[in-house]
Structure 1
Amino acid sequence: MEKHVVVVYPHPDDESFGAAGTITQFREQGVPVTYLCGTLGEMGRNMGNPTFANRETLPDIRKKELKDACEVLDMELRMLGYRDKTLEFEDRSAVAEHLKGILDEIEPSLVITHYPEHAVHPDHNALGAAAIEAVRRMAPEKRPTVWAQAITNNYLEELGNPEVINDVSDQFDTKMKAVFAHDSQAAPMLGGGYDQKEVMEYARNMFSKEAFFIWNYE
């Protein structure tokens, strides 16, 4: 069993869409989980459906949604304080050192993050690369395993099959509760909520498995 799991993604909702089922599995085992969230997602285009946010209110709304989702998932939240859509321009070494300091404190046995260059969004690629570099800089005897999540359309062709494929069907309801905690984002992306059967059927097909590659530091 894992000692402590740290999840590193750049935006509120990345944790819910990407790994909420896996996070729930760990929490069901009694494993502590900490989410290091890079930004507030304040430059996101989605403003709710129907619209209820604007550019000025979105940061506070997404922060509250993030806290609500983390409460659903029963995990600790730490905000890294970076600005949305700028992570690719941050000094990679400085971000890695920032993350390393937190990882040295927590001493996790597993880190979950995005697979660089296979994570669609520049923020995903940049923070994933920084997280992987942070772990590389740790003392080998304290270095956690890294699970890297690829989400590009062609990742199977380029990377092969992921080593970890978690069936999270039993955790699906918790995952979707966390996803819909991000109301400003989930409703526009999924086109509805719990009360729409077709939405939930689509989500069950899409989100009942979560896959990760084990990063090789050799």
Structure 2
Amino acid sequence: MTAPVMFCYAHPDDETFLSAGLIRTLSDQGFPPALLLATSGDAGHKNGAYRDWTREELGALREQEMAVAAQVLGIADVRFLRLPDGRLQETDEALFVRQVAEAINRMQPAAVFTFPPDGGNGHPDHRAISRIVSKAVTEGHCGSVRRLYYVFSDSLAQEGRIPAVKIDTLHLWPDKADALRAHDSQIEAIRRYFGDLSLCLPERRYEAFALAWEDGAWWPEKTERQALEELGLPLS
């Protein structure tokens, strides 16, 4: 099986928080992407009815929740590495790179999306998956991948980077909200970030991504129009 685009994140729900609009847009255009998650999220928040669940129970539940969210967003394939949640930075680097590269190579994507180097919010797992995906892609382990994108962050803006892809989620919000609701075990954290899911908050409306690497070159200069064309997306 192949997918033209692959998203590589740390936990179930990362894909919806950061890129549900882009994922849904790709799927609607006939390019359903694949998703690789390093963990099952078994160290995640335990709210409501899930407070007394074991890590094993929570991890199994979050994989089930991810399957529902994937159906909502039109994700073609979801794979889990099932590495230790909260301790990705302790994983043997060579093994981690090999596992990520194998997962990417099974899908043969031309473009890969992941966290920026600082993880966006500093989360150690986010930083770890960003580092490992970047090594797998840029050091020649994933021959099909021509472009690596980072979720846009304040740290990238401070470096003078600009988004290559920006998605307005306003018209896609019902799907994004439904995918967020699918991650019910994490709903308290989700509501703290997004508020009332019946509304699209102005500060959560856009998803943005920087083109970090292309065909061996870091930080290529591309217009948003060029980046959208290469992803097969409608031009803004």
Structure 2, gaps ≥5 residues long: 218-236
Distance 1:126 1:150, change over 3 A: farther
Q: 1:91: how far off? A: 2.2
Q: Given the alignment, which residue of 51, 54, 57 partners 2:52?
A: 54
Does the Cα contact within 8 Å between 1:172 and 1:204 map onto a contact in 2?
no
Question: What's the secondary structure of 1:25's corresponding residue?
Answer: helix
Q: 1:149 maps to which residue?
A: 151
SS at match of 2:166: strand
1:9 equivalenced with 2:9 (yes/no): yes
Distance 1:191 1:125, change over 3 A: closer
Distance in 1 between the 2:15 and 2:208 partners? 13
C-alpha distance 165-53 of structure 1, shift in aligned 2 (>3 A): same
Give the corresponding residue for 1:168: 169
Tell me the TM-score normalised to structure 2 length: 0.79
Decide whether aligned partners of structure 1 residues 140 and 84 sit closer, same or farther in structure 2, where only a CA change above 3 A counts.
closer
Q: Is 1:136 paired with 2:138?
A: yes
TM normalised by structure 1 equals 0.85
Q: Distance in 2 between matches of 1:150 and 1:94?
A: 27
What are structure 1's unaligned runs of at least 5 residues?
none
Contact preservation (8 Å) 2:36, 2:103: no
**What residue number does 1:210 align with?**
207
State the identity as a percent.
Answer: 26
Residue 25 of structure 2 corresponds to: 25
**One-letter amino acid of the structure 1 residue matched with residue 83 of structure 2:** Y
Residue identity opposite 1:185 in structure 2 = Q
Which amino acid is the alignment partner of residue 208 of structure 1? R
Give the SS at the match of 2:173: helix
Q: Which has the higher contact order (CA 8 A, sep 6+)?
A: 1
Q: Tell me the alpha carbon deviations over residues 124-153 of structure 1, each in whole angstroms, 9 at most, x when there is no partner.
A: 1110111111111337863331111144x5
